Structure 1
Amino acid sequence: MTKKGFVKMSIEHLDSRISLVDLMDLSLKERTGSYIIHEDALTIIETSASPSIPHLKKGLSKLNINLEDIQYIILTHIHLDHAGGAGLFLEECPSATVIVHPKGYRHMNDPSRLIAGAKAVYGDDFETLFAPIKPIPEERMIVKNNGETLKLSETCTLTFYDTPGHANHHFSIYDPVSGGMFTGDTCGIQYRTDEADFYLPSTSPNQFNPDSMKVAINLFRYKKLNRIYFGHYGMTEDVEHALTKVEMWLNLFMEKAQQTVSPKASMEENVENLSVELFNLVKSSFIQQGVDQQHSLFKLLELDMKVSAMGIVDYLTKKEKEK
C-alpha cells in the first residue's frame, strides 16, 4: 500500500484480486475510492461524482483494464459522492450493468430529485462538485434485495445486505473470498493520517437514523469480518476497533446534539451551532492523539461535521414532529 496520509493520487493493491483507485473526490486525495474486483466478471464498486470519472478512467488504465471489459458497477447507495457519476461512466462501458438498491433504482433512472436535493445542500457549488448527472436506462440496472447474491466467478459470489442508517437506499456487499464487507457510509468514514487511523460516523441528511445504523454495525460484528472496505476511504483489517470507534462517536454526536439543538432556534441556527460543537469535539480528540492542529485533515472535518450536523438536526426535527 501507499504511505498513509494525504499523498499523491494512488492505486492500492489490497491483495491479488482487489484494487483501490483514488477518485480525488472534492479534489482531495484519499477522500473517496473505487474498489476494483478482479474476477471473471470484472466489477467496480462506487464511481463517485462525475468530476471523478477522469480519475477512475486513469486508474483503470494504469491497471490495464479496458472499459468494455467491465461487467458490473455496484453502487452502495445513491448519494452523489458515491453514485453521481455512474450514468456518465456507463456511457463508456458497453458491457456493464449497474447494481443498485431497490429504493435507489428509480432515482438513478430519473435523477431529478437527487439533483434538487444536492442543490439544496450545496447551492452554488453544485455544478462544480457534481455535474453532469445522467440518467441510467432501466434495462442497464439490476436491483438486489437483502440476502440476494451476484456470482462473479466459480470461487466468488457476493451477498447484498440491506443496511440503512446512513440512507434508506443503502446496501453493503459481502465478499466471501476476503471475508470483507464493502460498507459505503453505513459504518462511517476512515480518516488516514501518519499518526493513526480515525473513524467517525457519517450522519448526513436526510435519512440518517442512529438506531438503524447501530443495527447495521451489529450485523457487521455478527459476520466476524476480516476487513471493512470504506467508501471514504480505504480498507482496514482492524474491524472491531473501527466499529467500536464509530459507535462511540455516534453516541457522542447524539449526546452533543441533545445538549445543543434547541426547538426555539431555526434549522440553520441549530445546524451551525451543532457543527461547531462536533468539530471542536473531534478536533480536540484528534490533537490529543498526536495530529498537528494545522493538519489539512481539519479543513475536511469542518465540511463533514457540517453535513453530519444537518443530518442529526433533520432527524431530531422529524422525531419532535412525531410526538
Structure 2
Amino acid sequence: MPNPRTLEYAQQITCIDTFYQRQGLAACYLLESEGEAAFIDTGTSNSVPQLMAVLEQKGISPSQVRYVIPTHVHLDHAGGAGSLMSQLPNASLVIHPYGAKHLIDPSKLIAGATAVYGEEAFEKQFGQLIPIPEERVIQAPDGFRCHFGNRELLCLDTPGHARHHICIFDEQSRGLFTGDTFGLSYPELSGTQGPFIVPTTTPIQLDPDAWYETLDRLMELKPEKLYLTHFGEVSEPEKLVGQLRQHLQEFTTIALAAVEEPGEQRKSEIERALQKWLLQKLEQNGNTLAADKSLELMAMDLDLDAQGIEVWLARREEAAAG
C-alpha cells in the first residue's frame, strides 16, 4: 500500500488519491469544518487504509467524521464505503435512494463485478464489499442537505452517467463534487488550450438527454470549481461544460454511425472510433503526449465507454422495436 498521496485545496478540501488501477486515476475528497469532517466518494476497500492514514496525519479522530457520501455505487467511487463506515463510529452514509439498497446489501454489486472480472481479479481490484447497516444509511433525494461544523452540502439528483448519481454542491467553496457527471479530466490530457474533458459513458445507464439537462441544472448554481473523481480540481466550469456537451454529442454521433455493425463487431468499431476521436481532439487541445502513450493511458476508459455506448444503442433499438 503506497503512502497517502494528497492535494490540498482551499476551503479545507483535501483530494486523496485512491490508487485505483494507477496513481492519478481516481480520487476521493475529505472536507473539514469546525472539528468535523466528511468524505465524498471512497475509492475501493483497498483504498480505505490510505483514507484512515490521512485522518491520522491531520489529527482528525474517526469519531469526528460525520458523513460518507458516495456520488454513486460504481465500485471505484463506493466500493470502500462499507469498510470505511465500519471504522467511523459516528458517520452516516448519504446516498441516492436508488443506490442505497446496493450498499446495504452489496451482493448484486459483487455478483456483477465478479462476473466481469472473475473472483481473483475482483478481490485484487476491489477487496471486500462490506454491508452497511440500514440504520446508518440516509437516502438523499434531490435537494437533500447535510450539515457538519459550519458547512452545508446540497445533494442533487444528477442522472446521465448513471440513474443513481448525485452531485454535491458545497456553498463554502462554491464547488461541485461531480463524481462522473463532469466526465474525466486527467492532468496528462491537458494541453495549451487547458484541461480536456472526456465523457464517461460506462455501462449501463447512459442517458445523453438526461445528462444535458443535468449539466444545465448544475450550471444554474454558478459553481466556481469542479472536483472530479477522475481527477482533481478544475476551474472555469462554464468553459468546460461547453466542451463536455460537445464531446458527449460527438460520442453519440460515433455510436449512431456504428448502429448497423453486427454483434461484437459494433463494440469494436465504436472503440476504434473513440481512439481516433481522442487523438484528434488531444492534438487540437495542444496536448503533446505521444499517441501510443495517450491510448495506453485511456485504454480502460475507452473500453468501458465503448461498452456503455453499445448498451445505449441496444436499449434504443429495443425501445424502437416496441
Shared topology, TM-score over 0.5? yes
**Deviation of residue 56 (structure 1)?**
2.0
Q: Judge conservation of contact 1:48–1:82 (CA < 8 Å) in 2.
A: yes
Deviates further, 110-119 or 305-314: 110-119
Q: One-letter code of the match for 1:38?
A: E
- 2:146 is aligned, of 123, 143, 150, to 150
- 1:60 is aligned, of 44, 55, 60, to 55
Q: Judge conservation of contact 1:158–1:175 (CA < 8 Å) in 2.
A: yes
- 2:110 is aligned, of 97, 115, 118, to 115
What is residue 277 of structure 1 aligned with on the other side?
Answer: 273
1:243 aligns with 2:241: yes
- 2:122 is aligned, of 126, 132, 138, to 126
Q: Judge conservation of contact 1:261–1:274 (CA < 8 Å) in 2.
A: no
Question: Is the partner of 2:161 in helix, strand or coil?
Answer: coil
Q: One-letter code of the match for 2:309?
A: I
1:293 aligns with 2:287: no
- 1:136 is aligned, of 116, 132, 135, to 132
C-alpha distance in 2, partners of 1:93/1:19?
18
Provide the identity percentage. Answer: 32
What is residue 227 of structure 2 aligned with on the other side?
Answer: 229
**Deviation of residue 114 (structure 1)?**
1.1
C-alpha distance in 2, partners of 1:66/1:299?
40
**Deviation of residue 283 (structure 1)?**
2.1
Q: Judge conservation of contact 2:4–2:54 (CA < 8 Å) in 1.
A: no
**Deviation of residue 57 (structure 1)?**
2.4
What is residue 162 of structure 2 aligned with on the other side?
Answer: 167
Q: One-letter code of the match for 2:288?
A: V
C-alpha distance in 2, partners of 1:295/1:65?
43
Question: Is the partner of 2:59 in helix, strand or coil?
Answer: coil
C-alpha distance in 1, partners of 2:211/2:242?
13
What is residue 182 of structure 1 aligned with on the other side?
Answer: 177
Please list the CA deviations of residues 246-289 of structure 1 after superposition, one character each: whole Å capped at 9, or x if unmatched. 11110111111111232x511x3222221121022102321442
What is residue 75 of structure 2 aligned with on the other side?
Answer: 80
Q: One-letter code of the match for 1:65?
A: I
Cα–Cα, structure 1 residues 10 and 297, in superposed 2: closer, same or farther, change >3 Å?
farther
Q: One-letter code of the match for 1:31?
A: L
- 1:19 is aligned, of 14, 17, 22, to 14
- 1:218 is aligned, of 201, 206, 216, to 216
Q: Judge conservation of contact 2:65–2:88 (CA < 8 Å) in 1.
A: yes
C-alpha distance in 1, partners of 2:265/2:127?
29
Q: How does 1:24-35 map to 2 (within 5 A)?
A: 24-26=19-21, 28-35=22-29
Cα–Cα, structure 1 residues 16 and 148, in superposed 2: closer, same or farther, change >3 Å?
closer
User: Aligned-pair RMSD on alpha carbons?
Assistant: 1.8
Query: How many residues are paired up?
Result: 312
C-alpha distance in 2, partners of 1:271/1:48?
28
C-alpha distance in 2, partners of 1:9/1:277?
37
Q: One-letter code of the match for 1:131?
A: G
What is residue 3 of structure 1 aligned with on the other side?
Answer: none
Deviates further, 271-280 or 251-260: 271-280
Question: Is the partner of 2:254 in helix, strand or coil?
Answer: helix
Q: Judge conservation of contact 1:183–1:231 (CA < 8 Å) in 2.
A: yes
Flag structure 2 segments of 5+ consecutive residues without an equivalent.
Answer: none
What is residue 322 of structure 1 aligned with on the other side?
Answer: 319
**Deviation of residue 294 (structure 1)?**
5.6
Deviates further, 116-125 or 139-148: 116-125
What is residue 304 of structure 1 aligned with on the other side?
Answer: 301
Q: Judge conservation of contact 2:15–2:28 (CA < 8 Å) in 1.
A: yes
Q: Judge conservation of contact 1:100–1:144 (CA < 8 Å) in 2.
A: yes
Q: Judge conservation of contact 2:70–2:78 (CA < 8 Å) in 1.
A: yes
Q: One-letter code of the match for 2:255?
A: A
C-alpha distance in 1, partners of 2:4/2:267?
33
Q: Judge conservation of contact 2:180–2:200 (CA < 8 Å) in 1.
A: yes
What is residue 31 of structure 2 aligned with on the other side?
Answer: 37
Q: One-letter code of the match for 1:185?
A: D
Flag structure 1 segments of 5+ consecutive residues without an equivalent.
Answer: 1-7
1:313 aligns with 2:310: yes
- What TM-score comes out, normalization by structure 2 length? 0.91
Q: Judge conservation of contact 1:9–1:29 (CA < 8 Å) in 2.
A: no
